[in-house]
Amino acid sequence: MTTDYLMTIGLVVGLFSIPAMLAAYADLRFPRGPMAAFILSAATIALAWVLHPGGYSFAELPNVVVRVIADILN
């Protein structure tokens, strides 16, 4: 279940870093913070992918996110 949390955290951070990168490019400044967040997100997703026995499939990712949200709410 720990790898599910890592995968979800990586996906959420990566999702939020993309608009921040686009905003930085629109303001003509270098996106240091958003780029660091995106790299951290990619590393977290890769770590979860490697540590999960058998790996993850793309079809399984929505179920992983829902499991983590359900676990947090309960």
Distances (CA, A) of 57 to 7, 60, 63: 12, 5, 11
Residue 1 has pLDDT above 80, yes or no: no
The reported pTM is 0.87
The residues, ordered by sequence, that sit 6+ positions from 8 with a Cβ below 8 Å of its Cβ are: 64, 65, 68, 69
Model pLDDT for residues 20-62, shown as the tens digit of each residue: 999 999 999 999 999 999 999 999 999 999 999 988 989 999 9
Q: Is the pLDDT score of 2 beyond 90?
A: no
Residue 12 CB-half CA count within 13 A? 11
